[in-house]
Amino acid sequence: MEIPVFELQRPFESGVTGPDELGDAAWWFVFQGDRLLLQREGGEFAPPAMRRIEMLGVEVISRHYLGQLDGRHCYGVDAAGAEPPPGLEPRHLFGLGERMDQDLYLLAGRTFQILEWDRKHRFCGRCGTATEYRRNERARRCPQCELTVFPRLTPAMMALVRRDRQILLARSPRFPKGFYSVLAGFAEPGETMEACVRREVREEVSLEVENIRYFGSQPWPFPHSLMMAYTCDYAGGELRVDDDELEHADWFEPEALPPVPGEMSIAGHLIRWFVREVTGR
């Protein structure tokens, strides 16, 4: 099985402690709220590259060293305010994937996950004391009770259910009009990913599945998921849609697919894998 790639393509050395002083320009992934500040270069967007964040003229709430991409230092920054500095455009991450260099887009997603975690753990969840950022590891620690919190990741699954030449696709009321995708859901405490696949398929469309096989994964920073994709075979039951979760679900043949996700999502890779398997194209 072909495993799709949602990994950094250029060499990347992850780190938590940056250099004392920057000799060269660094990439700065600066978020104001949930919007990334970008420069437009032709039809593409890129984060600003400079030696000092102060040159940007934003008020820095927190700064997080990410590591080196192909020898260039990278930082994530949480910036105050809603007005972008001159020359920069604020953009939501969602939908940016096709308009940015893939490595820079992945690092922007990584930054967003780190900032979301950092913003939401300023105070200890156990005793309410203000937490402190650790210098030598990506963690916040409570000075009172020593609770340490690391960036949170929420495992989620995506399942392509197959029945001979057909796949099951569903649409959520949140999707754009006419748009379909494979089933997805979050793992519950105590569950394996395989059990999560079986439960979600059962809950959402009342079907049983078998032959659950891992396909690949994708960091999904909306806001802090790791999406794991699986394929499985229909094993029984009659299609019955859970109205609370889905608007519609049905079996589709590869020649008659509705609009589905594209290259930037692992759902798109899953669906294309199925089409190739069935049609040889």
Task: Give the tokens for residue 227.
Answer: 């999406």
CB of 127 to Zn ion, least distance (A): 3
145 part of the interface to Zn ion, by CB under 5 A: yes
Q: How far is the CB of 136 from Zn ion (least distance, A)?
A: 20
Rounded to a whole number of angstroms, the minimum distance from the CB of residue 236 to Zn ion is 49
Within 10 Å of residue 34's Cβ, how many Cβ atoms?
15
Sign of the C-alpha dihedral computed for residues 60, 129, 134 and 47 taken in this order:
negative
Cβ proximity to Zn ion: between 140 and 269 the closer is 140
Give yes or no for residue 140 binding Zn ion (CB under 5 A). Answer: no
Scanning 9-17, 22-30, 128-136, 187-195 for contacts with Zn ion by CB under 5 A, the matching segment is 128-136
Nearer to Zn ion by Cβ, of 132 and 210: the residue is: 132
Query: Sign of the CA dihedral 217, 203, 260, 278?
Result: positive
Site for Zn ion in 166-185 (CB under 5 A): none
Does position 126 interact with Zn ion (CB under 5 A)? The reply is yes
Shortest separation between residue 121's beta carbon and Zn ion, angstroms: 11
Nearer to Zn ion, 122 or 213 (CB): 122
What stretches of 92-133 show up as alpha helix (H) in DSSP?
102-120
| Closest distance to Zn ion from the beta carbon of 133 (Å) | 15
* Cα separations in angstroms, 7 against 107, 230, 252: 10, 18, 30
Sole binder of Zn ion in the list 22, 46, 139, 147 (CB under 5 A) = 147
The amino acid occupying position 199 is: R
Element (H, E) at 148: strand 148-149
Alpha carbons 160 and 181: distance in angstroms, whole number: 9
Query: Is residue 130 part of the contact set for Zn ion (CB under 5 A)?
Result: no
Buried b (16+ CB within 10 A) or exposed e, 152-187: eeeebbbbbbbeeebbbbbbbeebeeeebbbbbbeb
Determine the residue type at 246.
Answer: L
Segment interacting with Zn ion, rule: CB under 5 A, options 23-31, 145-153, 262-270, 271-279: 145-153
**One character per residue 95-124, x = contact with Zn ion (rule: CB under 5 A):** -----------------------------x
- Which tokens belong to 123? 């105070």
Strands 183-186 and 154-163: antiparallel
Report the residue number, 9 or 144, with the smaller CB distance to Zn ion: 144
Binding of Zn ion at residue 144 (CB under 5 A)?
Answer: yes
Residues engaged in binding Zn ion (CB under 5 A): 124, 126-127, 129, 142, 144-145, 147
